[in-house]
C-alpha cells in the first residue's frame, strides 16, 4: 500500500513517514490488545493486522482524522477474525498470498469508506434500475 502511495500517487517523504508511524501505532495496539501472530490467533493476526495497518496508514496519508483512521483500521480488520492459519504443506504461500492480496483490497476499501464523501458516489445506474452494469451487457451464448 505504501509503495502504491509513493510510486503511483506521488506520495512525499513526509506522507511515507505519516503512513509508517500510523500503521505502527495500529499494529502496536493490535499486538498489545490481541496478537499479530498466526500461531496465536490465526490469520487475523497476520493478514488481518497487516490490512488494518495498511488501511490506517492510507487514511492518514489522505488526511483522515484520528477517528476516521481508527474506523478504517477496524473495518479492514473485521473481516479476518476466525480465519484459520493452515498453509498448504506448512509453506507460507497458499492461502497466504491470496489472503494478503485481498487484505490490501480491503484496506483500500476501508479507507474509502472511512473518509466521508468517498463511499457515496454510486451511480443511479447501479441501484435496481437495470440501466447499467450487467443489466446492459450483451453476452454471446
- C-alpha 30: how far from its chain's center? 15
**Cα 83 to Cα 73: distance, rounded to the nearest angstrom:** 17
Among 43, 55, 75, 115, binds ligand SF4 (CB under 6 A): 43
d(CA 27, CA 18): 14
DSSP category for residue 122? -
Q: By CB under 6 A, name the one of 87, 102, 109, 113 that touches ligand SF4.
A: 87
Note whether 51 binds ligand SF4 by CB under 6 A: no
Q: How far is the CB of 42 from ligand SF4 (least distance, A)?
A: 6
Neighbours of 43 (CB within 10 A): 22
> Is residue 48 involved in binding ligand SF4 (CB under 6 A)?
no
The yes or no reply on residue 92 touching ligand SF4 (CB under 6 A) is yes
* Nearest distance in Å: CB 2, ligand SF4: 19
In degrees and rounded to multiples of 5, residue 99 shows phi and psi of -65, -40
- Which residue in the shown chain puts its C-beta closest to ligand SF4? 38
Copy the grid coordinates of residue 21. Answer: 508511524
| Chain contacts with ligand SF4 (rule: CB under 6 A) | 38, 43, 46-47, 85, 87, 92, 95-96, 99
Amino acid at each position: 500500500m505504501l509503495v502504491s502511495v509513493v510510486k503511483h500517487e506521488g506520495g512525499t517523504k513526509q506522507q511515507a513517514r505519516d503512513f509508517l508511524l500510523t500503521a505502527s501505532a495500529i499494529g502496536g495496539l493490535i499486538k498489545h490488545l490481541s496478537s499479530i501472530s498466526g500461531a496465536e490467533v490465526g490469520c487475523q493476526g497476520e493478514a488481518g493486522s497487516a490490512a488494518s495497518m495498511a488501511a490506517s496508514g492510507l487514511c492518514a496519508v489522505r488526511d483522515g482524522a484520528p477517528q476516521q483512521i481508527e474506523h478504517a483500521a477496524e473495518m479492514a480488520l473485521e473481516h479476518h477474525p476466525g480465519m484459520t492459519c493452515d498453509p498448504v504443506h506448512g509453506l507460507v504461500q497458499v492461502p497466504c498470498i491470496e489472503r494478503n492480496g485481498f487484505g490490501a483490497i480491503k484496506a483500500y476499501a476501508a479507507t474509502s469508506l472511512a473518509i466521508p464523501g468517498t463511499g457515496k458516489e454510486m451511480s443511479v445506474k447501479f441501484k435496481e434500475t437495470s440501466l447499467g452494469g450487467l443489466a446492459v451487457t450483451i453476452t454471446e451464448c
